[in-house]
Amino acid sequence: MDWTLFLQLMINGLIVGALYGVVAMCFVLIYKASQVVNFAQGEFVLIGAWVCWFFLTKYQIPFVWGFLLTLVFMVIFGILIQVVVLRPMIGEPVISVIMVTIGLSIVFQALMKWAFGVFAQPFPPIFERESVAVFGLEVRTVYLVSLLVSVGIMAGFAYFFKATRMGLAMRATAFDQQVAQSLGISIRSVFAMAWAISAAVSAVAGVVVGVVNGVSSALSFIGIKVFPAVILGGLDSIVGGVLGGIIIGLVENLAHFVDSQWLHWGNLIEVVPFWVLIVILMIKPYGLFGTRDIERV
Amino acid sequence: MGDGITRPSDRILEVEDVSLAFGGVRALTDVGFAVAKGELFAIIGPNGAGKTSMLNCISGRYRPQKGTIRFQGSDVTHLSPNHRATIGIGRTFQNLALFGHMSVLDNIMVGRHHLLRSNVLSGALYWLGGAQKEELAHRREVEEIIDFLEIQHVRKATAGTLSYGLRKRVELARAIALKPELILLDEPMAGMNLEEKEDMARYIVDLNEEWGMTVVMIEHDMGVVMDISHRVMVLDFGRRIAEGLPAEVMAHPQVRRAYLGVADDEEVADEEVAEDGAEAGAGR
C-alpha cells in the first residue's frame, strides 16, 4: 500500500470530480430548463478553452481579460445556439432534438480541429508558483485554484436559484412551463439564459483543464464523463449533478489506485465511470436525487 | 350586445365570435361575451362544454382560429401568455399547479416576477443597489396577500406538503401576487368540503369587492355560482346558450335541459310511467 499515492489520487479525484460536477450542473441546467439532452456539452468545454487560448496567445492580453472576453463570447454563443438551432426544434420529438445536439457536437469537433489544429497547445503560464504545499502534500496551484473556482461556481448557482428573480423564474419554468407563462415569465428568455449560463460555465471548466493539460480536442472527454455523473445524481437535479461529478471523480481515481496497486489491468480509470453508469441505470434509473418518473420520458 | 353592460368603456374584457377547434373537434363555436370592470362573472356548463378552452383562449394558452379577444380596449388575441400576464390577466388552474418543491413564499414570489425589476447583477449588488429595498416592498405586499388568504401559518412550508384546500389558496395567492386587473379562476372550489368552499367563496367576493379585481370564474357548484356571481354565461357543446343574471339564466329552458340534462327526460319518463300505470290499472 502506498498511502501517499492514495491521498494524491483522492485529492486528484476531488478536484477533477468538482470539475465534472460543474459541467454536470451545466448539463442539468439545460435539461431542466428546456428538456434538451445536450450531447454537445463537452464541445462547449472545448470551445471555451480554445477561445480563451486564442485570446491569450494571439493577442497577448492578460489572463483575466482573456478569460472575461471568453465568458462574454460563450454567453453570446450559447444564446445563438439556442435561438438559431434549438428554438425551431421546440415541440419536435426528443430523439430529433438529441440527434441535433449530437450533430452539433460533431460539427464543433471538426470545426475546432480545422481552426486550431489537432495538436495539444499549452496555455501560457498563469501562476508564478507551480505548486503549493497543502498539509505536506505538493498540490499544483492550478488544481487548487480550479477547486476554488468550482466551489465558487456552485455557490453562485445556489445563490442564483435561491435568491434571484431569474433563478426563481427558471425553477418555475422547469417545474411547469404553462404555469410559469401564466405568471408572466417569458419561456424564451429563460431558455436562452439557461443556454448562455451553461455555455459560459462549461467554458470555465474548459479553461481550467486547458491550463493544466493544454488544449486539444481530447478536452471534450469531459462531456462524456458527465453522463455517468448526471445519471448517478439524477438527470434533473443540480445538486445531484454536483455530487455525481465528485463521486465519479473519486471513483475513477480509486479504480486507478486499485488497478496500479493490485490488478494491473490498465486503464481502469477510463472505464470504471461507465461501469458505474450501467449499474446505476440497472438498480436506480432515476439516480440519487432525480424525479422518479424521469425514465418515462 | 344584450349583455347588460351600458357603457362600452366599462368593458374590461370583450370576446367576439371566438371559434376554436382541435382537428375535427369543435371546442368553441362563435362564442362572444363581455365582462364589465369590477364584475364577478361566472361561466358554467356541463363537462366538455368548452369552459376551460374559453379560459385558455383568454389567458393565451390557446389561440382561437377565429374571433378576437380584447382586454382593456386593446386586441390581445395574438399576444403570448406571459405578455398577457404582464398586462394584467392572472389565472389559476383546474388541476393544482403549484411549484411543489418550493416554499409557499417562493411560490407567491414567482407571481411577482414581472414586477421585480432587479436582475442578476443588481441582485449580486444586493446591499449596494436598490434590490434590498425593492425586496422589502415586495415582501410587504406579499405578506398582505398572505394575511388576506389566511395562510400565515404555512408561509415557510413546502407547497407540495399542504392539504388540498390550502394548496388551492396558495395558488390563488400566487395569481393575486401578479396584481392582475382580471383574474381567471378555473374551478376554484372543485374537490373542497363545505367549509373550505365557504371560505373560498368569501375570498373571491372580497377579492372582487375590496381589492377591486374583475373575476371570471368557472365553477360547478351551482349554489356558489348563484350566490356570488353578478352575471352568468352558459356554454354547451362549445356554444353560448344563455347569459344574464343568475336567476334569469337558471330559469332559461335551454339551460335547464343542457345543464340539468335529464330533467325534461325524467318528466317525460314519469308521464310514461304514469300512463303505463293508468293503463295497467284500467286493464285490471
pLDDT, average across residues B172-180: 91
Separation of alpha carbons B167 and B151, rounded Å? 10
CB-CB under 8 Å, A181 with B60: yes
Interface test with A, best of B99, B127, B176 (most A CBs within 10 A): B99
Name the 3-class secondary structure at B17.
Answer: strand
pLDDT, average across residues A38-60: 91
Residue B194 CA: distances (Å) to CA of B151, B207, B208: 19, 20, 21
Residues 6+ apart with CB under 8 A from A60: none
Is A115 touching B (CB cutoff 8 A)?
Answer: no
Which residue among A164, A182, A187 places its CB closest to the CB of B59? A182
Residue B9: predicted pLDDT = 63
> Å from B91 to nearest chain A CA?
7
pLDDT digits (tens, 9 = 90+) for A219-268: 888 888 888 888 888 888 888 888 889 988 898 888 888 888 787 777 87
pLDDT digits (tens, 9 = 90+) for B209-255: 999 999 999 998 888 888 899 999 999 888 998 899 988 888 888 88
Residue A85: predicted pLDDT = 92
Is A95 touching B (CB cutoff 8 A)?
Answer: no
On the question of pLDDT at B136 being above 90, the answer is no
Strand partners, B42: B217, B232
Is A168 touching B (CB cutoff 8 A)?
Answer: yes
Residue A285: predicted pLDDT = 78
pLDDT, average across residues A147-167: 86
On the question of pLDDT at A288 being above 90, the answer is no
Residue A224: predicted pLDDT = 85
Q: Given 3-state DSSP classes, what are the helix, strand and coil percentages for chain B, each rounded to the nearest 5?
A: 45, 25, 30
Separation of alpha carbons B255 and B275, rounded Å? 28
Residue B130: predicted pLDDT = 57
Interface test with A, best of B104, B113, B185 (most A CBs within 10 A): B113
Over pLDDT 90: what percentage of chain A?
A: 26
> Å from A249 to nearest chain B CA?
29
- Is the ipTM higher than 0.85? The answer is no
Give the model's confidence band at A297: pLDDT under 50 very low, under 70 low, under 90 confident, else very high.
very low
Query: Which position has the higher pLDDT, B140 or B278?
Result: B140
Separation of alpha carbons A42 and A27, rounded Å? 9
Model pTM score: 0.81
CB-CB under 8 Å, B178 with A168: no
pLDDT, average across residues A279-286: 82
Give the model's confidence band at A296: pLDDT under 50 very low, under 70 low, under 90 confident, else very high.
very low
Burial of B200 (0-12, 13-18, 19+ CB in 10 A): buried
B243 phi and psi angles, rounded to 5 deg: -155, 140
For residue A172, which residues of chain B lie inside 8 Å, CB to CB? 99, 102, 110, 113
User: For chain B, what is the total number of helices (H) and then of strands (E)?
Assistant: 11, 10
| DSSP letter, residue A86 | I
Strand partners, B74: B71
Q: Which of B10, B31, B175 lies closest to A182, judged by CA?
A: B175
Which residue type sits at A8?
Answer: Q
Cβ proximity of B215 and B39 under 8 Å? yes
Residue B252: predicted pLDDT = 84
On the question of pLDDT at B183 being above 90, the answer is yes
Interface test with A, best of B110, B114, B119 (most A CBs within 10 A): B110
pLDDT digits (tens, 9 = 90+) for B94-131: 887 888 888 898 899 888 877 776 554 444 555 455 56
Separation of alpha carbons B262 and A40, rounded Å? 60
Q: What is the mean pLDDT of chain A?
A: 86
> How many other C-beta atoms lie within 10 A of the C-beta of residue A207?
28
Give the model's confidence band at B31: pLDDT under 50 very low, under 70 low, under 90 confident, else very high.
very high
**Chain B residues 171-200 with a CB less than 8 Å from chain A:** 174-175, 178
CA-based nearest residue in chain B for residue A160:
B120
Query: Which position has the higher pLDDT, B236 or A286?
Result: B236
For residue A176, which residues of chain B lie inside 8 Å, CB to CB? 97, 99
Q: Which three cell numbers, joined as nine digits, stand for A179?
A: 404555469
On the question of pLDDT at A139 being above 80, the answer is no
Angle, CA A207 vertex, CA A113 and CA A116 arms, to 5°: 20
pLDDT, average across residues B177-201: 90
Is A185 touching B (CB cutoff 8 A)?
Answer: yes
Q: Which three cell numbers, joined as nine digits, stand for A208?
A: 481550467
> Å from B215 to nearest chain A CA?
16
Residue B3: predicted pLDDT = 54
Residues 6+ apart with CB under 8 A from B154: B104, B162, B166, B170
Which residue among B90, B111, B123 places its CB closest to the CB of A163? B123
Q: What is the CATH number of domain B9-88+180-251?
A: 3.40.50.300
Residue A240: predicted pLDDT = 87
CB-CB under 8 Å, A182 with B123: no
Residues 6+ apart with CB under 8 A from B50: B20, B27, B28, B31, B235, B237, B238
On the question of pLDDT at A22 being above 60, the answer is yes
pLDDT digits (tens, 9 = 90+) for B32-67: 999 999 999 999 988 888 999 999 999 998 999 999
On the question of pLDDT at B275 being above 50, the answer is no
For residue B85, which residues of chain A lie inside 8 Å, CB to CB? 181-185
> Å from B147 to nearest chain A CA?
21
Is A186 touching B (CB cutoff 8 A)?
Answer: yes
Name the range with the highest mean pLDDT among A154-163, B2-11, B169-178.
Answer: B169-178
Which residue among B118, B126, B178 places its CB closest to the CB of A183? B178
Separation of alpha carbons B238 and B57, rounded Å? 13
Residue B20: predicted pLDDT = 93
Which residue among A169, A176, A187 places its CB closest to the CB of B113? A169
Q: Which of A18, A27, A24 lies closest to A249, judged by CA?
A: A18
| DSSP letter, residue B65 | S
State the helix-helix crossing angle for B164-177 and B131-148, rounded to 10 degrees.
Answer: 130
Angle, CA B228 vertex, CA B224 and CA B232 arms, to 5°: 90
Query: Which position has the higher pLDDT, B262 or B204?
Result: B204
On the question of pLDDT at A197 being above 60, the answer is yes
Name the range with the highest mean pLDDT among A16-25, A205-214, A235-244.
Answer: A16-25
Which residue among A171, A176, A184 places its CB closest to the CB of B86? A184
Distance from the Cα of residue A270 to its chain's centroid? 17
Strand partners, A134: A137
> Å from A236 to nearest chain B CA?
13
pLDDT digits (tens, 9 = 90+) for A71-80: 999 999 999 9
Strand partners, A140: A131
CA-based nearest residue in chain B for residue A193:
B120
CB-CB under 8 Å, B99 with A179: yes
Is A293 touching B (CB cutoff 8 A)?
Answer: no
pLDDT, average across residues A29-56: 90
A43 phi and psi angles, rounded to 5 deg: -70, -30
* Domains of chain B, residue spans: 9-88+180-251, 98-178
CA-based nearest residue in chain B for residue A162:
B106
Query: Which position has the higher pLDDT, A117 or A111?
Result: A111
